[in-house]
Each structure stands twice: as structure tokens, then as C-alpha cells.
Chain A
Amino acid sequence: MTYSQRVDRATPTCIIFLVDQSASMYEPMAGTTTPKSVAVAEQLNATIMELIQRCSKSHTEPPRPYFAVAAIGYRTDKSGTAIVQSLLTVPNSVGDLAWTTDLAQAPLRVEERTRETSDGSLQYRMPIWVEPFNDGGTPMCAAFDRAGRIAHSWVQAYPQSFPPIVINLTDGESTDGSPTVWADRITSLATSDGNLLLFNIMLAGGMNSNPVMFPNSRQLFRDHSGQTLFDMSSELPEIMRTAAVRQGYPAEAGARGMSMNADFRAVVSFLNVGTSVGHLLR
């Protein structure tokens, strides 16, 4: 059975976030006044925090190295040259990857925050690793290439692990060629537990959005960009499809790890589902 490997020290999992940092990410998220880049950075930090929390066992030991995380930003400079770079500055990271153990120790800062709950307001601390940024074009092919390089060496080092998960957060079409070729290349990488999983989320702008979450048919999309996104998104493995259903999405058999017209809530759910290997954790 594929996509069932337990996640532990011997078989850790690699999660790569690709973050579109093009100029249009400055536009507000659908139905809000928050720039998309800010909303994405916020949710990415929350997701990294969640991954670390799942590796935290007790007061007496630091979080375990169960996940290696990369966050790669992609944009272009004034001349249109691709800038694809790691957004994490974590000591002991190797190349673009940082273990949850090291990420836990080295956020850029930890913010004191307050959240309203049913029991009143709750003080909590929110670590920040990734800052929002937006400029230039959308060199998605270059970003997929970078993810491919990271994942390629990963699957050689951990051939028995749950395969790498690549989550691409974007608001537009690629400006450096057709990304489907690159998507095919990177999803051909595999461990004994299955092929690399590539999930794509296309953020919505404007006043309203009608998010399409985890579709299982290409026919749902009439436009080229929807079809392209569908083609290059992996089918959700059963554990994640179950997680999507538990979050209230239909996610029928064959559902893809894809969202079109995503609003903030859709981003939150999408990242939850795309990283839902929690009960595989040891």
C-alpha cells in the first residue's frame, strides 16, 4: 500500500512550500484588504508551527526531526531574471531544507498574540519564519526545478519515507514557460511509498471568490489555467482525502490536491489537508 509509511526519525518526510512572490501578490486576498503575500506568509508560518508541534513530545526534549521543511520564494528582478530563493534562515539547514528540530529553535522572532476563544481571550506566542514579499513575475518553472533538485536528493537519502510533498501557492500563470513539463518531471520522483505529491493552490483576488477545492474532474474547468492547474496537481492519497472530507469538503475518489479561486479559509484548509500525515507520526 502506498502513502502509508509512518513518519519517524528513520523515515522522515520532506515538505517543500513554493511561494509566489510576484508583484500581483500585493493585491488583496478575496473579500479582504490583506495583501495575498501577507495572508500566505501568515498561513505558512502557522503551518510550519503546526508541523513542529506534531514533532514535540515533552518538556524534556526538543521537537524531533520528523520533517525537513523548505520554503522557496519565486519572483523576477527588474530585467525579468528569475529569483528563486529559500525564505528560511535557519542555522544547520542544509541547502534549502531545515529539520523541525532546528526550525523550532530559530524563528526570526516570536510574537505575543491574543486570540478570542469561547473562554475569553487567549494569549499565545506565534513564531515567525517567513516574511511577506512581492515583486516582479512568476517564474514557476524555475521554482519547480528548484523543488525537483531538493526532492531528488531527498528521495535518494530516504528511499523508504513517505514521499516528498510540494505545495505551490500562487496567484497567477507561469511567466517562464509551461510548468506542466516541470510538474511531470518532479512528480516522477518517488520513494518506495509513492510518487512525489505536488499540490497547487491558486489564490483569488477581487471582492468575492467561489473556491473550487479538491476537484476530481478536469471537465469542471473551461479555462486553460484551471485545466493546467488540474493536470499538474497530484491525486490526494487516501489519508489526505479522508482529511479533506473531515474538514467538510466532498473530495470524491480521484480528488486532486488543487484549489482554484482560493480565499483565506481555503488556504488554511488546503495547507491542513496537504500536510495531514499526522496519524502516520510516531
Chain B
Amino acid sequence: MRRLLAFVIAALALCTCSREPTVIKFGSVSPLTGPQAEMGQDLANGQRLAVEEANARGGVLGKTLELVVMDDMADPKEAVSAANKLVSDPGVVAVVGHLNSGATIPASTIYNAAGVCMITPAATNPKVTQQGFRSVFRACITDAVQGPIATDFAIDTLGTSSMCVLHDKTAYGQGLAEQFRDRALERGVDVLMFEGIIEGDRDFSAVLTRIKALAPDLIYFGGMYPEGGLLVKQARNLGVEAVFMTGDGCYNPEFMEIGGPESEGAIVSFLAPPWEDQPQAAEFVARFKQRFGQPVKTYAPFGYDCVNILIAAIDRTGKADKASIIEAMREPGFRHDGVIGRTEFDEHGDTKNVILYFYVVKEGRLVPYGS
């Protein structure tokens, strides 16, 4: 009896082995719960839409595309455990993720060791692609690019000649703030203060009081919207009149929600154009809204394009195995035209598509600067 059972199991195993898999799996990791859930959900929805559309077109290489969605809670520990789960599934050939640099950097080590292609839609810390990992790609610009462009904007367009720079001590926030500061020093602008605040803290009045006494033209903050919103609110309540400027981490309706009327006039740089005004994105914005019943918030178009970039890589070689996807994307001629524009990768796996837009808070909404 036992022998018979063993035989049946062996036969079944052989069966599944010999049959060609009928699905292609992509991993998808972003913070679906936790403080950054809103952005993570937006990102994941963009990916879901791309997968659904690909399947509606008849799949990839005639196979059904499946998105294995995981949650990293923006936490490096969770990110690593999600990455380990994904690479242990032999069916997962590539991963779109993660959102935060702090989560992406440790997770990328695991994907690279397993030879699984990882493309991050939103992690901007330069380090992500500077580890010499062949399987790591990025669809957004880095802080090394964002910081200096933002500095130039502050100096040339806003006429800033002195500034205080704050950051939240995370890989993202501090990295961005350092790039911003370094460029400012290079251009001979006074940096009166460079200091970290504590992520999750609510009271910044002490450091802001000090800034008030320094009376800079501009306060730059490298960090996310929960702290950014509170900073701008408390600064205004203390009577600080400096321009408040921050990066993509504050490009979120919550920034104005938390900052309240005090956030008026704050400048936010972001990696993408106003989606509604872009002819190539208009259709996507409409489809997204119809499918999920809510508007595109921030990173959905990046999530959408990342999935389509992976599909383009598979279509290019006609092979859906892990190594072929990486090789296809590493080829110099590889390019993809999508909602975020044309994506091409340099030798580090970084996009050559340099886009940075400036927004200003007007009547509680982020509108393009100068419009």
C-alpha cells in the first residue's frame, strides 16, 4: 500500500514537471498597510491594471500573467521576508518593488542572489543601483538627480540665498537632503542649518524656533508627508515666513490634509508630471479611475509602466525565464514608451528619463508651479 502511494506521488510529480507552466508570475511588493499604505496601494493598483490589461490582450507569450502581491509595510525587515518568500517561489520570474529606499536596498540583495529581476518604481536613494547588482533596475530618478535640480530651482527660480535643511534620518530623506545641501554649498548659498528630526515625532517647535531666529529664505525638508505636513504647520504657527520646500515624499494629498491651511505656498518636487495634463497619460488616468473608483494618486503610473517594461523585456526575447528578462533589459537598445514617458536604462540600471516637476500648494491642492 505504501509503495503504491509512493508510486502515485512520483507519477504526479513527474506529471507536473513535464507540463509547461501556463502562468507567468510577477512579484509585487509595496507597503499595503502601515503609515505609507495609501501610496503603496496606489502603486499596487497601477500594477494590477497593467496585468489585467495584458491578460485581456491574450496574456504574455500566450500565458496568463499573475501578480503575486505582497506587503512590506515600508519596513526593511518585512521587505526582506517578502523578498525571501518571492524568490522561493520558482514561478516568480521578476519583481516590481519596493516603494521605499530603506526597504528596497536590503531586499535587492536577495533578488540579486536569486537572479530575479527587480525593478523599483519609486525608491530614489542612489545606493539602490550602486551595489553592482545586475538584476536591479529603477524606473524613477535618484535623489542624486532630484536634489541638485531642486536646489537649482530654489536658487534660480525662487531666488533663495540662505536656507535651513532638515531631514528625517531615513535613507531616503537624509540622502535627498544631503544632495540638496551639497549642491547649495557648491553654488555658494548659505546653509544655516543641516539637521535630522525623528520620524514619527509630532513636535518640531523647538527646532523651528531656532530656524525662526536664523531667518532663512527657505526651509528644505527631505522626508515623508506625515512629518512634512506637521513641519509646515508648526513653522507657520510660530511665524516662520521662509518658503517651505520638500521632495516627492510629500507629494500626497495627506500633506495638505495634515498641514492644513498653513501648507499654502509650500513647494513640492515630484518625479512625474501632472498626470491629467499629459496626453499619453490621460487615457490611463481614465481607465484607472474606472477600474478602482479612485483617482491616480502618485506612483500608480510607475507601477503600471514597471509591469509593462517587464512584459516588453519578455516579448523582446520571447523567453520568460529569470535570466532572459534581465539580459533583455540590460541590452543597450532596450526601451519602453509608456505613461511615464520613455524608459531606457544606463549601465547601473537607472532610467535615463530625467523628469522632475515642481508643484505648489494652492487652495489645498498641488498645482504645477507657475500655472
Do A and B pair up? The answer is no
